[in-house]
Structure 1
């Protein structure tokens, strides 16, 4: 279960390989956004007034990522996913405190490493 949670969050946040290898592609953008908000609320210790802003932001970007399925070519999808993730981070900086954003970046790096390890194990 813990691996599934890590994978789901990683896929939602990290761009390049994440979009193309999404094992939760059967989840709706709303479900993915809700999961992200829940994770961020717990792990970033969001303030009450931040939660609706984060929830809304996660939904907007989950829908943008969902739309990438219509783009032809993996390279084009990955390039666009990276752009979208960058835009989301820019907006997150406006909502999160500096400490929260630092934790977010640290967790993202940890998840990236775990995904890399899992990918290597599956080879």
Structure 2
């Protein structure tokens, strides 16, 4: 059960990384592409100002580059999950300094909704 929770969290983190790009393979995308996708998604969903957009893009690029070896690495799944979670936690801490309290609450809600959707899909696959 603990592994399932960690896997669900990891999936949620990755979903933020590849939002609305179904055809693109995560392992083959560049950190710059992933950062641009994340920034565009956040800009749209949170109505970021141009100043916020610039800062968020810098944050996304920084952590997409840090996440790249994890995504492309050959380590064990659990080790990758732990590294990805740690990276995502640092990124979210930086988001909190850029977003307004309302924007951060909306971001948390969006993240929670995506997590719920992923759980439902995983359950559907398991039962289907």
**Do these two structures clear the TM 0.5 threshold for a shared fold by scoring above it?**
yes
How far 1:45 sits from its partner (Å)? 0.7
Cα distance in structure 2, aligned partners of 1:106 and 1:117 = 17
Q: CA deviation at 1:102?
A: 0.4
Deviation (angstroms), 1:72: 1.9
Larger Rg over CA atoms? 2
1:110 aligns with 2:116: no
Closer, same or farther: CA 71–83 of 1 in aligned 2, 3 Å? farther
Q: Which residue is equivalent to 1:55?
A: 57
- Indicate if the aligned counterparts of 2:43 and 2:53 stay in contact, CA closer than 8 A: yes
Q: Distance in 2 between matches of 1:119 and 1:26?
A: 24
Q: Alignment RMSD, CA only?
A: 2.2
Tell me, which stretches of 5 or more residues in structure 1 are unaligned? 1-7, 15-22
Compare 35-44 and 23-32 and name the one that shifted more: 23-32
Query: Which residue matches 1:45?
Result: 47
* Ranges in structure 2 where 5+ consecutive residues have no aligned partner: 1-10, 18-24
Aligned length: 109
Secondary structure at the aligned position of 2:50 is classed as coil
Separation (CA, whole Å) in 2 of partners of 1:65 and 1:12: 13
1:60 Cα deviation from its structure 2 partner: 0.9
SS at match of 1:72: coil
Judged with a 3 Å threshold, the aligned counterparts in structure 2 of structure 1 residues 53 and 47 are, in CA distance, closer, same or farther, namely: same
Indicate how the Cα distance of structure 1 residues 58 and 99 shifts in structure 2: closer, same or farther if over 3 A, else same.
same
Partner of 1:3: none
Q: 1:10 to 1:84 in 2, by over 3 A?
A: closer
